Structure 1
Amino acid sequence: MAHIGYARVSTASQSLEAQEFQLKAAGCTVIYSDVVTGSSPSRPQWDACRKGLREGDSLVITRLDRAGRSLSHLI
């Protein structure tokens, strides 16, 4: 069982550092990160993160909006 983290910022001028710090503090052993708007249909590291999850793993994000911008994206 592993804690897998996902971090995302919308623009290159924003930093992933704070999210990555929080994910490491939560015990994440692997962290995937994207620099892309949440509404983008293409988030390569989000796709890799979901494919990398195994039964028993926990997905950890710092805020729900890091996974998607709307309820339809989350579903």
Structure 2
Amino acid sequence: MRAGDTLVVPKLDRLARSVPGARDIGDSLTARGVKLSLSGTLYDPADPMGKMFFNILATFAEFEVDLLRMRTREGMAVARAKGKLKEKQPKLSARQQSHMVQQHQSGEHTIADLAELFSVSRATVYRVLERHQNASAPSTSGGQ
């Protein structure tokens, strides 16, 4: 943006995620000589009143986002407690994963072959193999 331009943002939470982030952006706009339009209202970050309103709006926007996060976490906790929020189901059953590991260890199949055989992505094959390797690795704790 250049001096004299106006940055148009529908809502402040679309501009920054926190008050310090909004201040940094406001300072950057001031340094460039750019004005800010929030929800159709023009704010000049270089003007003391514009700066104050911008900071107040940023504080309220951050507060709203924090409330939303808190309510979402609470709602998820309630749903989880009621058994309505379930974890993502694995793409392969334990038996399929074991079979995949055996085929990989035999050396007859590449990662791409296994991905095609089991109709999963290569990343899934790598995750299954890594989980198996981590599960079969001996514990490094000395037991002291």
Same fold at TM > 0.5: no
Greater RCO structure (CA 8 Å; 6+ sep): 1
Instruction: Judging by fraction of residues, say which structure has more strand.
Output: 1
Query: TM-score scaled by structure 1?
Result: 0.29
Query: TM-score scaled by structure 2?
Result: 0.16
